[in-house]
Amino acid sequence: MSSPVGPAVDAAAGDAILKPDFGARRRHFIFTDEHEQLRESIHAFVVAELAPHAEEWEETTFPDSVFRRMGELGFLGLDKPEAYGGQGGDYFTALVLAEEMAHSNSGGLAMGVAVHTDMTLPPILAFGTEAQKQAWAVPAIRGEKILCLGITEPDAGSDVSGIRTHAVRDGDEYVINGAKTYITNGHRADAIVLVTKTDLDAGYDGFTLFLVPMDVPGVVREQRLQKLGMHASDTALLAFQDVRVGADAVLGQVGKGFYHIMWELQGERLIGAAGCVAGAQKAFAKTLAYALERRAFGRKIGHFQVTRHKFAEMATKIESARQMVYVTAWRFANGEYPVREISMAKLHAARVAVEVADECIQIHGGAGYMKEYGIERVWRDLRLNRIGAGTDEIMLDVIGRSYGL
């Protein structure tokens, strides 16, 4: 049995010889046995039911039935309240899902699911009326309704305050006009959480969120956009042309939509960062296996010192990103609002993921460039993370400004 201060003290007592055990499973302190059991069951599902379709879904996008199946299994509401059909778990259960989805070998699928569970459901549950939660959150957690989130516009992405989509009050209704672009799940979604301006002169206090069914007249799914990666997801250009919704479609407080969506982005960034770490780890493992098999100049390529050091660099970067994500998640889960640290974790994890994926292509040589090995796709998929949910430059700006600069 180890002492309270660790195994080194036992060894000092003279009854043990300490040797490193690099194969030992190290559970991070934020996770319990229950989290690990959940991890195993999500992993088993992802490997058996999602990963085998990864290639096919690159061509077709993944089917809506994935949401229904994940809803049946309870995976869409892990950290959502039981009152709305969720599992009532803590925030770390959402991290476990984000990490295990990396084993689907499909960044597009993982992103489509995360937009539903971790980007659109949270503001509905946090700011929605009871009627909105019953109408949208309950069926969304069951996987019967699909959700998307509309912030970005053709003329405003990083600069959310520059959006033009606006909603004008007309009696008991609002009339919405505008456009949103790059909207994940935009083609398949049943409802959108839409960021609008309701007062053009009120600055940050002029924004309002709406929860808009996608089948109301005037919502036009204009274009299915072609992308570098994330091919399994659908990405839409949407138009809103004199869309009439009742005042009951307002999500949260009129005029407070900017603050609501900035809160939403914190959770989105942290989950995205967890996905980056898991994606990088998966690429690392795959490349390690390759490096221990592929031979050149009479030895395994992994046995060249330069390659060994590449793995050491990658492992160290991944571990640093993982620790940032876990510690920041712990703070978030314990009621803090650590915007600076979330921005740092998102920035660092996204950079690390792209650097690791790039190095993994290099270690694979020509095979890394071939579709057959799947490593080029990892790079293409992970590359989005330095842009989506706030670019590297915006993360740096948030961090820098947090020091009063």
For helices 107-114 and 91-100, give the axis angle rounded to 10 degrees.
160
Among residues 141, 183, 238, 265, the one that binds ligand FAD under rule CB under 6 A: 183
Phi-psi region of 389 (alpha: psi -120 to 50; beta: other; left: phi over 0): left
Q: 36: which 2 tokens?
A: 């690990």
Cα three-residue angle 353-356-362, rounded to 5 degrees? 145
- Nearest-approach distance from CB 191 to ligand FAD, in angstroms: 13
CB atoms within 10 A of CB 105: 26
Of 342 and 394, which CB lies nearer to ligand FAD in the complex structure? Answer: 394
Nearest residue to ligand FAD on Cβ basis:
157
Exactly one of 58, 99, 264, 268 is catalytic; name it.
268
Of 38 and 389, which CB lies nearer to ligand FAD in the complex structure? Answer: 389
Among residues 158, 253, 334, 402, the one that binds ligand FAD under rule CB under 6 A: 158
Query: Cβ distance 272 to 388 under 8 Å?
Result: yes
Restricting to residues 359-388, name those near ligand FAD by CB under 6 A.
384, 387-388
Residue 265 binds ligand FAD, judged by CB under 6 A: no
- Nearest-approach distance from CB 159 to ligand FAD, in angstroms: 6
Distance, in Å, from the CA atom of 3 to the CA atom of 10, rounded to the nearest integer, reads 6
The verdict on whether 268 is a catalytic residue reads yes
3-state secondary structure of 144: coil
Dihedral angle of Cα 354, 150, 56, 378, to the nearest 10 degrees:
0
- Nearest-approach distance from CB 363 to ligand FAD, in angstroms: 27
Residue 227 binds ligand FAD, judged by CB under 6 A: yes
Residue 235 binds ligand FAD, judged by CB under 6 A: yes
In this structure, the chain runs to a length of 405
Phi, psi of 237, rounded to the nearest 5 degrees: -100, 125
Among residues 230, 261, 271, 399, the one that binds ligand FAD under rule CB under 6 A: 230
Cα three-residue angle 336-337-342, rounded to 5 degrees? 115
Query: Cβ distance 36 to 86 under 8 Å?
Result: no
Q: How many residues bind ligand FAD (CB under 6 A)?
A: 23
Among residues 97, 102, 151, 356, the one that binds ligand FAD under rule CB under 6 A: 151
Of 195 and 314, which CB lies nearer to ligand FAD in the complex structure? Answer: 195
Residue 343 binds ligand FAD, judged by CB under 6 A: no
Residue 106 binds ligand FAD, judged by CB under 6 A: no
Which residues of the chain form contacts with ligand FAD (CB under 6 A)?
A: 115, 148-152, 157-158, 182-184, 227, 230, 235, 384, 387-391, 393-394, 397
- Known catalytic residues are 268
